[in-house]
A and B are shown apart, each in its own frame.
Chain A
Amino acid sequence: MLLIPCPYCGERAELEFRYGGEAHFRRPDNHLEASDESWANYLFMRKNPKGWHRERWMHIAGCKRWFYVVRHTVTHRIAAAYKVGDPWPDLPA
């Protein structure tokens, strides 16, 4: 069970959270005019990396905020958690 550092409430057990998948994938600008391909990319294509990953979590049993976590998908180490609008912390080497 992960210990997730909610940027608002502090470290909490994974039980309190809801996972939101990859972070920062961008909704195409002028999305109504977006090509089928770019729209499909936005809808369906995710990186699924082996290694460091920026991902979205919601503290559903706590402050109900969505935020971002930098997590390693192999070791599960968490390098950073940050709020919407915060500068993105660098990925660890």
Chain B
Amino acid sequence: MAECAPLDNVIRPGEPNGPSGVALIDRRFIGQVNLRVRGPAVAATGAALGYALPVEANTAVGNGVSRSCWLGPDEWLIVCEDEQRAELMQRLAQALSSHAHAATDVTDARAVLRLAGACARPVLAKGCPLDLHPRRLGPGKVAQSVLARAQIMILPIEEGYDLFVARSFASYVWAWLLDAGAEYGIRVEP
């Protein structure tokens, strides 16, 4: 029987194992505005943003300043740099002043964790029941679902995902992802 040291079965984060592994990145503060509008206010919002709000389910559209993620038939999450959010709020307030709407700054309500690398998909697939095939959830798409026991919004990036999780769940999801990614040699990047 082969000898076995006490920590042989502990997988160390950063240990190379997968083909190119996966990285976990805390994106700190990402500006987030929750927008709820209906009817003509949708078009008015588009004028303020410089692009039309996506009305197709599970899609995200943006420009250099912001990206709008479809959350529901009258709800979007508009994502931008943290520094841009005050200006975005102001612009929305102006554009929607004559429409019923709710533009709510929820920047502090969610953490954004980036899971990047070739193995991001199998790591996420350990706890998310969504079909993550690039045909179903690739760039240009967005999805809300669950990851293990937390609700998440998933915004695919070139090779990986930005995961939006409620602030109070962030440390749980962080620990969960590190543990899930251990198999693929997950590393934490700044």
Contacts of A15 in B (CB 8 A): 129, 146
Shortest beta-carbon distance, B104 to chain A, in Å? 14
* Given A15-B146, A61-B144, A63-B144; A10-B58 close (CB under 8 Å): yes
Question: When the two chains form their complex, are residues B129 and A8 in contact, meaning their CB atoms are under 8 A apart?
Answer: no
Q: How many residues of B contact A (CB 8 A)?
A: 13
- If over half of B's interface residues share one DSSP class (helix, strand or loop), that class is named, otherwise mixed; here it is strand
A13 within 8 A of B: yes
Question: When the two chains form their complex, are residues A9 and B146 in contact, meaning their CB atoms are under 8 A apart?
Answer: no
* Given A8-B57, A10-B58, A15-B146; A63-B73 close (CB under 8 Å): yes
Question: When the two chains form their complex, are residues B73 and A8 in contact, meaning their CB atoms are under 8 A apart?
Answer: yes
B145 within 8 A of A: yes
Shortest beta-carbon distance, B79 to chain A, in Å? 18
Shortest beta-carbon distance, B6 to chain A, in Å? 37
| In the complex, chain B residues 42-70 whose Cβ is within 8 Å of any chain A Cβ | 57-58
| Distance between Cα atoms of A62 and B75 in the complex (Å) | 11
A46 within 8 A of B: no
* Given A8-B57, A10-B58, A15-B129; A65-B73 close (CB under 8 Å): yes
